[in-house]
Amino acid sequence: MNVQVKPRSSIELTKADFVSDQTVRWCPGCGDYAILASIQKLMPELGIPKENIVFVSGIGCSSRFPYYMDTYGLHTLHGRAPAFATGLKVARPDLTVWLVTGDGDGLSIGGNQLLHMLRRNLDVNVLLFNNRIYGLTKGQYSPTSEQGKVTKSTPFGSPDMPLNPMLFALSAGATFIARTFDVDAKGMQEIFKEAVKHRGTSFVEIYQNCNIFNDGTFSPIYERTVREDRILKLKHDEPFIFGKNQNKGIRLNGLKPEVVNLENGFNRDDLLRHDQYTSDSTLANLLSNFNYPEFPVPMGVLRQIKNSTYGEIIEKQINTHLEKHGKGKLTDLLRGTHVWTN
């Protein structure tokens, strides 16, 4: 810390305190509005003085987010938000840093930055708005678009295999992986709260509808009428059960997961049970691979494990060095080991 500040912790903050004076310029009907409202609503509950909060973003529709939050904010370069956040958080461990990115920003141009931030376990909260399309450049396919996707840049269908954000994060060693969706106000709140509590990179993928260029991309999954059959709500230590009548479950058949009907001779004890805290990544891996329509799509915390954060390790090294050598004296350093006088 470089300046003496008086935190305004004594002041009760409300949602309105976190709404900036900027006009929100997302398209009417965009899923981003709901996510913004959810974050603004959550902020006062966290009890963190707003001067100690920074929202960092890259480039894209989602990355306009910091302008709408009345906290400190940094709207950075395309794909580079994780690197900016890394410098900021290492420099200022006292700050609470949020990172807002999208499927293009985070997984295409910024894939490398996101990968390395995850593996370092930098203590930030990541919101990855996944709408499976490039919005700000007006509708080209993104790294999460399904193969064969017809867009302006792929009139005959996208040849690329889509990237699975959960698997990406998992393989990078992420310590907190969760998924939620823009029309589930309550679900988002719960996940965001968990994300804030976690020490290390909290990686949250948010299914977000782009009603202009990719309208309804997630409707087959989260449309209100089908949701219960197509979403698996994760709860720690609970068996994998879903369906309108809570009659379907997922069990392991050998090494293969399969959907079973609880009315057909299977019971709760036959089912896989969620363990978000296990250090073994097998279960998180299975969950990350549950795709519609073969499986219900898991929503909730897929994985949450403890590990040292990047900042903790850096601070520890500094402290150890200070204990051993004391505070360095510039004059001694300038003089070095061999001095002679003329």
Partner 1 sequence: MSSVKAPLQKKSELPQSSFPETELDKATIRFAGDSGDGMQLTGTRFSSTSVLAGNDVISFPDYPAEIRAPAGTLAGVSSFDLSFSSSEIYTTADYLEVLVAMNPAALKANLKDLEKGGILIVNSDSFAENDLRKAEYKENPLESGELNDYRVVQIPITKLTLKAVEETGLSHRDGARCKNFFALGVVKWLFVRPLEQTQEWIQEKFKRPEIAKANELALQAGYNYAITVELFHARYHVPPAVLPSGDYRQITGSQALALGCVAASSRSGLTLLYASYPITPASDILHELAQYKNFGIKTIQAEDEIAAISSSIGSAFGGTLAVTGTSGPGFDLKSEAIGYAVMTELPVVVLNIQRGGPSTGLPTKSEQTDLLAAMYGRHGEAPVPVLAAATPGDCFYMVLEAFRLALKYMTPVIVLSDGGLANASEPWKIPDENKLPDLKPDFHTEQENFSPYQRNQQTLARNWAIPGTPGLEHRLGGLEKDSVTGEISYEPENHERMVLLRDEKIKRIKNDLPPLEIIGPEKNELLVVTWGSVYGPAFSAIEELQEQGHPVSMLHLRHLNPFQKNLAGILKNFEKVLVPEMNLGQLSRLLRAEFLVDTIPFAKVQGRPFLISEIRSRILELLAEK
Q: By the criterion CB under 8 A, which residues form the site for partner 1?
A: 1-3, 5-8, 20, 22, 49-56, 66-67, 69-77, 80, 82-92, 94-95, 112-113, 115-116, 314, 317-318, 321-322, 325-328, 330-331, 333-336, 338-342
Residues 133, 151 contacting (CB under 8 angstroms)? yes
CA dihedral 161, 165, 169, 170 (to 10 degrees): -80
CB of 117 to partner 1, least distance (A): 9
At residue 294, the 3 state secondary structure works out as: coil
Q: Which CB sits closer to partner 1, 26 or 141?
A: 26
| Least distance CB 163 / partner 1 (angstroms) | 18
Q: What tokens does 67 get?
A: 């302008």
CB of 26 to partner 1, least distance (A): 14
Q: Say if residues 216 and 209 touch (Cβ distance below 8 Å).
A: yes
Rounded to a whole number of angstroms, the minimum distance from the CB of residue 199 to partner 1 is: 19
Q: Whose Cβ is closer to partner 1: residue 74's or residue 259's?
A: 74
Query: Smaller CB distance to partner 1: residue 225 or 331?
Result: 331
- Tell me how far apart the alpha carbons of residues 51 and 33 are, in angstroms, rounded to a whole number: 23
Q: How far is the CB of 197 from partner 1 (least distance, A)?
A: 21
Nearer to partner 1, 72 or 266 (CB): 72
Q: Which amino acid is at 270?
A: D
Sign of CA dihedral 107, 110, 116, 121: negative
Question: Least separation, in Å, of the C-beta of 319 and partner 1?
Answer: 9
Contacts of 192 (CB under 8 A, 6+ apart): 38, 39, 42, 125, 204
d(C-alpha 219, C-alpha 184), whole Å: 13
The burial class, CB within 10 Å (0-12 / 13-18 / 19+), for 91 is exposed
| Tokens representing residue 308 in the block | 């040292």
Of the two residues 71 and 121, which places its CB atom closer to partner 1 in the complex?
A: 71
Q: Which is nearer to partner 1, 16 or 333 (CB)?
A: 333
* Nearest distance in Å: CB 60, partner 1: 13
Q: In angstroms, what is the minimal distance from the CB of 249 to partner 1?
A: 41
Quick one: 298 or 311, whose CB is closer to partner 1? Answer: 311
- The secondary structure of 112-135 as a DSSP string is HHHHHHHHHT-S-EEEEEE-SSBT
**Cα-Cα-Cα-Cα dihedral of 54, 57, 61, 67, to 10°?**
30
Distance CA 241, CA 250 (A): 7
Of 66 and 298, which CB lies nearer to partner 1 in the complex structure? 66
